[in-house]
Structure formats: C-alpha cells, structure tokens
Amino acid sequence: MIVITFDKNVSVVGGFGDRIVGLIAVKLISKLLKKKFYISWTKEDVQPYIDYKRYDFELLDDAIKQRTTKTHYCIDSVSRWQHLIRGSNFFKTPINKLWVNQEIAQYLYKLPQYKNEDYFNDIFTEYRNLYTNILIPTDYLMTNITTLVGNRSNIVGVQIRCGDRNMITNKNERHTTSNGVNINQKLLNIRRICTEKFKDDYSLFLTSDTLSMLDEVLRVFKRSNVIYNEDLIQHLDRKAVQSDISKVFIDNYILSQKTSVLFISTNSNYGRVAALSAVHKNIYDLDGRLLDKKLLVTKGRCLFT
C-alpha cells in the first residue's frame, strides 16, 4: 500500500494547498502501480470538517499497520524522488509512507512502461474527485458553507495570497508575495470581467491571508454582493490559535465547488488546487488572464505540454 502522510511528529508538511498537491500525486502513483491508497492525517484533527474514511489508514487493523514500513520524504524537493525512479523496484515494502508536497507523479508517467497512460486526464480526474470522493465535507462544514453562500448563483471566487507574515499564526515569518501590489486596479479589472459576464447578477466570494483585503474589495464592490468568511485566518501548518480551523476547508470548498468564475494567486497552491478541482474552466489570474489548467498542476517544471 501507499500512504500520503501528514504526521503530527513532523514539523513541516505544508499548508492545505501543498498537502493536496502531494495527496493527488500519491493517489496517481497508487493508480499506476495498482496499489492501495491511504491517507494518514494525524498532524491535526480534521475529521470534524472532512470525511475520508474510505482511505483512512488509521482505521486499519493494528496488525496491518504494524507491517514493515518504509518512509519516503519529499518535502520541498523532488531530488529524492528523481533518484528513486531510476531503480527497477517501486515500493516493494508492504507499507510505503510518503511525506510529499510536490507533484511527483509526473516522473512515473515519463517511464516507458507508462507511456500509454494519459497524465493530464488522470490528474484532472483525481482533482475533480477531490471533494466528492476523497475529502468529503462533513455536515458541519456544509452547514457553514450553506450559511455563507445561501442560494446565490454566479459566484465569483477571488483568492489573494499575500504571504505568511500577514497571519496571526505566522508572526515571525517573512514570506510575502507581490499579489497585493496595485490591488485596486486588479479588482477594477476583475469587476469589469464580471460585469461583461453577468452584468450585475453575481456575488463575489473573497478569501485571503490578509484581513485588509476585505477593505480593498469593498472599495470596488458593493458590500451586499460580497461573501466573506469572517472566521480567524490561520495557516494549517502552524500551531492553531483557535481550535476551529474550518475556515481553511470552507473557503477552499467554496472556491472549488460553488463558483462560476475563479481568480487565483498563481503562486499559491491553495488557489491552484481550488482551480484544478473546480467544476468549471473559467480560471483567471489576478491580472485577468485566462489560465489553462495544465499550467497549474505544478509550481515547478511540468514534464508534459
């Protein structure tokens, strides 16, 4: 079996977007190798928000979980994986735990024995199944989602990633992005595109790691047309400062499953996985450029064009 692992004993496994990138990669590898796929998620208690019982490694019998295990570490680097695929044996150990936040499955698809497999078809299929087959939202999560979006239609999602240092959970970090530069002009352009598509018949759902972005949005859009989840902004890979971390899951689900158009920060895996799992192809960057989903499967080099 092959297990994507978010272990409570590992300090860094990535935020939500990074983890989904790794999860989908490992699921694709399991498919290619015809091995069972499982999820071991012990770093946080996420079961109040998502149901993955079908794949939950922790629900297996103890006798099974105690079989010989090998761990493959691939956090923020693909070098160990590239070395691994040069060999002829793949995951012969009964249990193979992968700590991954990279799209590493593509390297297998380049091997001669998998030349007839369709990489993009397979990865898009898995992303489409993310919230219907793999991580199914709980009743608690869906109640909160319904409270936010109600029966609104033509929801436009806007995801603006400004950097870890903006979050209360990341006080001492320096990570930042340029996504907030000229944000008023970007939002005016988004409004223009929305008006062309829907006239005035749409709502805008905002998610950001920077609370001040709500003020920026309200300078351009009517408050009655803006949907915003006011729960505390937290980073999944940092110690929670509030026990309820549902915002991470609620916001991504809405971006993915409830929007008709989506504007994302392309340097953010949180936005990328929402776009890849979205039920439509109306995906734009924050400058209003229409995006091809093939360009979103990895931040690094994609081996396929």
pLDDT higher than 70, residue 285: yes
178 and 205 housed in the same domain: yes
| Distance spanning both ends of the chain, measured CA to CA | 30
The predicted-structure confidence for 222-240, as pLDDT tens digits, reads as follows: 999 999 999 998 888 778 8
Q: What is the pLDDT of residue 74?
A: 78
Other Cβ atoms less than 10 A from the Cβ of 114: the count is 14
Residues linked to residue 33 through DSSP beta bridges, in sequence order = none
233 and 172 housed in the same domain: yes
Q: In Å, how far from its chain's centre is CA 74?
A: 17
Q: Does 26 reside within a domain?
A: yes
Listed residues 110, 137, 164: the one ending a domain: 137
Q: How many structural domains compose the chain?
A: 2
Task: Please classify residue 239 by burial: count the beta carbons closer than 10 Å to its beta carbon, then call 0-12 exposed, 13-18 middle and 19+ buried.
Answer: exposed
Q: What is the pLDDT of residue 80?
A: 64
107 and 144 housed in the same domain: no
Residues contacting residue 30 through CB under 8 Å, at least 6 positions apart: 1, 2, 36, 37
Q: Does 304 reside within a domain?
A: no
Least confident among 103-107, 137-141, 162-166: 162-166
Q: Does 109 reside within a domain?
A: yes
Listed residues 119, 137, 155: the one ending a domain: 137
Residue with tokens 């060999």: 87
95 and 168 housed in the same domain: no
Question: What residue numbers bound the domain in which 187 lies?
Answer: 140-296
pLDDT higher than 70, residue 79: no
Listed residues 121, 137, 153: the one ending a domain: 137
What phi and psi values does residue 41 have, to the nearest 5 degrees? -120, 90
Alpha helices in 118-159 (DSSP H): 119-128, 139-149
133 and 145 housed in the same domain: no
Q: What is the pLDDT of residue 84?
A: 58
275 and 289 housed in the same domain: yes
Work out the percent of the chain whose per-residue pLDDT is above 90: 72
Q: Does 305 reside within a domain?
A: no
What's the whole-number mean pLDDT along residues 194-212?
95
CATH code of residue 248: 3.40.50.11350
11 and 106 housed in the same domain: yes
